[in-house]
A and B are shown apart, each in its own frame.
Chain A
Amino acid sequence: MALLEVQNLEVSYGVIRAIKGISFEVNEGEIVTLIGANGAGKTTTMQSTVGLIPKKSGKVTFNGQDITKIPCHKVVHLGMTQVPEGRRVFQELTVYENLLMGAYSVKNKKADFKADIERVYERFPRLAERKNQVAGTLSGGEQQMLAMGRALMSRPKLLMLDEPSMGLSPLLVDQVFDIIKEINKDGTTILLVEQNAGKSLAISDRAYVLENGKIVLSGTGKELSESEMVKKAYLGG
Chain B
Amino acid sequence: MDLLTIIINGLSIGGIYAMIALGYTMVYGIAKMLNFAHGDIIMVGAYTVVLLFTTSPTVGIISALVLCVLVGIIVEKAAYRPLRGASPLAVLITAIGVSKLLQSAAQIFIGSEPKGLTLNLGEIRLGSLHISVLTLLTILISVAVMAGLTLFVKYTKMGRAMVAVSEDRGAAQLMGINVNSVITVTFIIGSALAALAGVFLLFKSQSVDSTFGAMPGIKAFAAAVIGGIGSIPGAMVGGVVLGFIEAIFAATPLRDYVDAIEFAILIIVLLVKPTGILGKKRREKV
- Residues of A in contact with B (beta carbons under 8 Å apart): 47, 50, 52, 71-74, 76-77, 81-82, 84-86, 88-93, 97, 100-102, 104-105, 150-151, 154
* B164 CB-CB contact with A under 8 Å: yes
Contact across chains for A90 and B163 when beta carbons are under 8 A apart: yes
Residues in chain A near residue B161, CB distance under 8 A? 101, 104
Name the segment of B143-151, B169-177, B267-275 touching the other chain: B169-177
- Residues of B in contact with A (beta carbons under 8 Å apart): 157, 160-161, 163-164, 167-168, 170-179, 283, 285-286
7 closest A-B pairs by CB: A105-B176, A76-B176, A72-B173, A88-B171, A86-B286, A104-B175, A73-B178
Q: Give the number of residue pairs across the A-B interface with Cβ within 8 Å.
A: 68
Q: Report how far A82 CA is from B171 CA in the complex, Å.
A: 9
Contact across chains for B176 and A73 when beta carbons are under 8 A apart: yes
Contact across chains for B167 and A102 when beta carbons are under 8 A apart: no
Contact across chains for B160 and A84 when beta carbons are under 8 A apart: no
Q: Report how far A84 CA is from B170 CA in the complex, Å.
A: 9
Whole-angstrom distance from the CB of A157 to the nearest CB of chain B? Answer: 14
> B283: nearest residue on chain A (CB-CB)?
A91
Contact across chains for A72 and B163 when beta carbons are under 8 A apart: no
Residues in chain A near residue B283, CB distance under 8 A? 91
Q: Report how far A71 CA is from B283 CA in the complex, Å.
A: 26
Q: Report how far A131 CA is from B175 CA in the complex, Å.
A: 19
Residues in chain B near residue A100, CB distance under 8 A? 160
Question: Of A71, A74, A77, A90, which one neighbours B171 at CB under 8 angstroms?
Answer: A90
Contact across chains for A90 and B173 when beta carbons are under 8 A apart: no
Contact across chains for B174 and A76 when beta carbons are under 8 A apart: yes
Contact across chains for B173 and A84 when beta carbons are under 8 A apart: no
Contact across chains for A105 and B286 when beta carbons are under 8 A apart: no
Contact across chains for B170 and A88 when beta carbons are under 8 A apart: yes
Q: Report how far A74 CA is from B173 CA in the complex, Å.
A: 9
Residues in chain A near residue B170, CB distance under 8 A? 47, 52, 84, 88
Whole-angstrom distance from the CB of A197 to the nearest CB of chain B? Answer: 21
Contact across chains for A84 and B157 when beta carbons are under 8 A apart: no
Q: Report how far A176 CA is from B103 CA in the complex, Å.
A: 58
Contact across chains for A84 and B175 when beta carbons are under 8 A apart: no
Whole-angstrom distance from the CB of B132 to the nearest CB of chain A? Answer: 39
Question: Of B163, B173, B177, which one neighbours A93 at CB under 8 angstroms?
Answer: B163
Contact across chains for A101 and B175 when beta carbons are under 8 A apart: yes
Residues in chain A near residue B173, CB distance under 8 A? 52, 71-73, 76
> A72: nearest residue on chain B (CB-CB)?
B173
Whole-angstrom distance from the CB of A89 to the nearest CB of chain B? Answer: 8
Residues in chain A near residue B174, CB distance under 8 A? 50, 52, 72, 76, 81-82, 84, 151
Residues in chain A near residue B172, CB distance under 8 A? 101
> A151: nearest residue on chain B (CB-CB)?
B174
Whole-angstrom distance from the CB of B232 to the nearest CB of chain A? Answer: 11
Residues in chain A near residue B286, CB distance under 8 A? 85-86
Contact across chains for B167 and A90 when beta carbons are under 8 A apart: yes
Show 13 residue pairs from A and B whose CB-CB distance is below 8 angstroms, ordered by the A residue.
A52-B173, A52-B174, A73-B175, A73-B176, A73-B177, A73-B179, A88-B170, A93-B167, A100-B160, A101-B172, A104-B157, A105-B175, A154-B175
